[in-house]
Amino acid sequence: MSALRVTAVVRRIIAQFRRDPRSLALLFAAPVAVIALLGAVLSGSGASTARVAIVSESSQPASAAVVSRLTAALQGQPTVMVNTDVHDAATARQMLKDKQLDLVVNIPADFTVQSPKLQLVTLGLNPTGEASVIPNVQQALFKAVAGNLGGALPSIERSTVYGSPDATTVDTLAPVVVGFFVYFFVFILTGISFLRERIGGTLERLLATPVSRAEIVLGYSLGFGFFATLQVATVLAFVLGRLDIPSLGPVPAFAIGLGVHTAGNPLISYLLVLILGLGAVSLGIFLSTFARTELQILQFIPIVIVPQALLSGFFWPIDQLPSLLQPVARVLPVTYAIDGLRQVMIAGADLTSGQVLFDLAVLTGIAAVFIVLAAATIRREVA
Amino acid sequence: MTVASPSPTTSATTAAPAVEAVALRKAYGPINAVDGIDLSLPAGRIYGMLGPNGSGKTTLIRLLTGLVSATSGEARVMGVEMPSRTNLARIGYMTQADGIYPELSVWENLSFFAALYGQRDRAEMIRALELVELDGRLGTPAHQLSGGMRRRLSMACALAHHPAVLFLDEPTVGVDPAVRVQFWDHFHRLAAAGATLLVSSHVMDEADRCDELLFMREGHVLAQGTPADLRARAGTDNLESAFLHFAGLSASPPATAGSSQEAAR
């Protein structure tokens, strides 16, 4: 192992990127732009007001009192707007279809004081989106029903162990997004860079010099590690920081950065993402063996990147995946990065946490496996 | 196929050969790209490998540089069996593709490869660029160079560390005639200084500039000798006919000779 040769490879990679502004933009501007967009989309969806009507199909005398109690309770909610002009269930259903209402609270025909049953009706075209209005309404309903029936039901309050109950989706998704984008961009850039090395004839020439395969992989890891370091710093600064810009003339006030609260030390988040990135460098080198063109590198996205997006806990908790897919999720590096980032950023874990140390260890192990694979396959295409 | 006996000049040399092959064979599936080649090339000469595309020239160079491992047989450079990573520091290899980084400048390309070979002497690197007349373009990105200039940069990258053995795979393709003459003058200077050069080509008109020729076809060395020697043995006054003679194809008029050589590709 010669430090001079490794340094030569590192310096060359940095010089190549300096000359390639578009790839640099991909590395730095693209993740920030995507995260900003994601932040804007997610924060927008929570702000809307639910339009609600309360109707009754019951002939019970008590039901009229329930309607007025519910109406009174819901009118006190800031995110709910009660439409008091609608009284029969058929009209209310039609108004759901016409998108004039988001939710109908129906007191069914079999309603009794002994078994107080309520129906919450939504349209059903976009179940996830519609469900977001339910919790606010539900809480008010419980209170109203409990009051009406003489305190038979306890009042319900929401609380969480970590973070706060009003943490937005952006807060909980930010750690996930940071890890995922670094992995994605580092993989794509290394894969394509190394493929160009293979098809441009420079790899053949490299291998005819005294440089070893380990020196090449190390040089690549350090060179791309340098850019991954800057990228993670940029992305974390954007996610954690927030700079409010006041309104200027026709431009409304806006904020740069998401200002996500991190409970733990950002440096540990940094470490997690960096080791994940090193694994992505070697994976890129390794998979470039199996590609002959840049297009074929892009074909690895659905094979390598998309499954990690779906299975790594990005959208759904791993425990809730079908049992067949859970073992798959547990071998994906992004799974461990996301878990570690959540531990650190949301739960405030530090390096004394067994879980964080475990995640770091697994990530290091996966990176090591791919470093060995990358070094072993470098000669393949040339031979 | 007859492998010709070494010419008198080769057999007279006593020092250990710079390049050696013993029953060297490389198979890709059912095809023997190099099919049992024996070579013993003394140092300080320019050897030309001539043969149609697919005759095994590049594979032979790859075996000699250790880029591929032999299916059977041995390859030795400066007495060291290849592949040997440390021995590569004494070898220069100009690939058939330019093998330079288009985004990097002339100087960055050269200093990168020089660093890998352990050459840190800036004056030597500049001298390599002077030879290929690129010393005035140190900062020019390689992608802005013409095809011939890229070829010259590729050459400089193979020379800057003063290799004892230099493998040049079609070095003069796309290089204009004036620079081509300079290249050959420099090849002779390197050989005079003790370097051994193995130059592949499928153009016969460069062959006369070599000290010795290897005629290659289908993974075999058909004949080896000085250009004059080969012409005399084939009983012809041109190397193209001599090649066809050794290839076992009838020595026909040049026009037909060209087309049968095409057919061999």
* CATH number for the domain that contains residue A79: 3.40.1710.10
Query: Two tokens at A347?
Result: 């739960």
* Same domain flag for A303 and A258: yes
Q: Please count the residues of chain B.
A: 265
Q: Say whether B125 sits in a helix, a strand or coil.
A: helix
Q: Are A150 and A144 in contact (CB under 8 A)?
A: no
A156: in domain: no
Average pLDDT score, chain B: 85
Distance between CA atoms of A349 and B233, rounded to whole angstroms? 84
CATH topology of domain B8-263: Rossmann fold (3.40.50)
* Same domain flag for A123 and A235: no
Residue entry with tokens 């660093």: B115
Give me the residue from B65, B116, B157 closest to A5, CB to CB.
B116
User: What number is the average pLDDT over the span A120-146?
Assistant: 69
Q: Are B18 and B196 in contact (CB under 8 A)?
A: yes
User: What number is the average pLDDT over the span B190-208?
Assistant: 88
* Same domain flag for A195 and A270: yes
Q: What is the pLDDT of residues B218-250, one digit of tens each?
A: 888 989 999 999 989 988 888 888 888 888 876
**Per-residue pLDDT at A383 exceeds 50:** no
Q: Is A382 near chain B, with CB under 8 Å?
A: yes
For the ranges A116-125, A332-341, A364-373, B248-257, the lowest mean pLDDT is seen at: B248-257
Residue where one domain finishes, among candidates A94, A120, A148: A148
* Same domain flag for A61 and A15: no
A161: in domain: no
Contact between A204 and B95 using a beta-carbon 8 Å cutoff: yes
Q: What total number of domains does chain A contain?
A: 2
* Same domain flag for A139 and A211: no
User: Which one has a higher pLDDT value, A249 or A310?
Assistant: A310
Find all residues with CB under 8 Å of A368, minimum gap 6, and list them.
none
Q: Are B135 and B126 in contact (CB under 8 A)?
A: yes
User: Which one has a higher pLDDT value, B235 or A171?
Assistant: B235
Q: Please count the residues of chain A.
A: 383
Find all residues with CB under 8 Å of A259, minimum gap 6, and list them.
A240, A241, A242
Q: What is the pLDDT of residues B167-176, one digit of tens each?
A: 999 888 878 8
Name residue B217's amino acid. Answer: R
Residue entry with tokens 């659905």: A302
* Same domain flag for A192 and A92: no
**Per-residue pLDDT at A23 exceeds 90:** no
Residue where one domain finishes, among candidates A120, A148, A176: A148
CB pairs under 8 A between A and B: 74
**Per-residue pLDDT at A166 exceeds 60:** no
**Per-residue pLDDT at B112 exceeds 90:** yes
* Same domain flag for A194 and A245: yes
Give A178 to chain B, closest Cα distance, Å: 30
* Same domain flag for A35 and A122: no
Contact between B67 and A204 using a beta-carbon 8 Å cutoff: yes
What one-character DSSP code corresponds to residue A200? T
* Same domain flag for A85 and A222: no
Contact between B113 and A5 using a beta-carbon 8 Å cutoff: no
* Same domain flag for A77 and A134: yes
Q: Which residues of B touch A16 (CB under 8 A)?
A: 101, 103-104
- Domain with A39, as residue range(s), is 3-43+166-377
* Same domain flag for A91 and A178: no
If pLDDT is split at 50, 70 and 90, which confidence band does A50 have? confident
Q: Is A206 near chain B, with CB under 8 Å?
A: yes
A306: in domain: yes
If pLDDT is split at 50, 70 and 90, which confidence band does B108 have? very high
A382: in domain: no
Find all residues with CB under 8 Å of B236, minimum gap 6, and list them.
B242, B245, B251
* Same domain flag for A291 and A199: yes
A157: in domain: no
